[in-house]
Amino acid sequence: MYDARQQYQQQSVQTASPEKLIDKLYEAGIQACYQEDRDQLREVLLELVKALDMEQGGELAERLQSIYEFCINECATGDLDMIRELLEELREGWREGVLDRQPA
């Protein structure tokens, strides 16, 4: 059963739009916080930083980068609940601002 679930997850990532991938990253980061998996959380945050388009994103991308970098620093020894709350807020904003506006 694990292999089937892993294959499904891998296929859903490979076929997802870039916008949906960001949503999946937020989900993975939130789950890593709940599981207290600091290594996984750090990987997710680094992927979120890499996904930023600094040229097109302008000030918003700079602010997100600052938030992600703050979370990366906090991830080492800080409060994972605070990071989770930040990621949940960012995820909701992403869904409202980007995913909900995409054609079905």
Q: From 75, 77, 92, select the one nearest 41 (Cα to Cα).
A: 75
CATH number at residue 59: 1.20.120.340
What's the pLDDT tens digit per position in 80-93? 999 999 999 999 99
Q: What is the mean pLDDT of residues 19-38?
A: 96
**How much is the mean pLDDT over the chain?**
87
3 in any annotated domain: no
- Using DSSP's 3-state secondary structure scheme, residue 55 falls into helix
Spacing of C-alpha 82 from chain mean position: 15
pLDDT of residue 16: 74
Closest by Cα among 18, 44, 11, 31 to 98? 18
Structural domain contains residue 84: yes
Structural tokens at position 94: 């992403």
Rounded to whole angstroms, the Cα distance separating 8 from 12 reads: 6
Total number of domains constituting the chain = 1
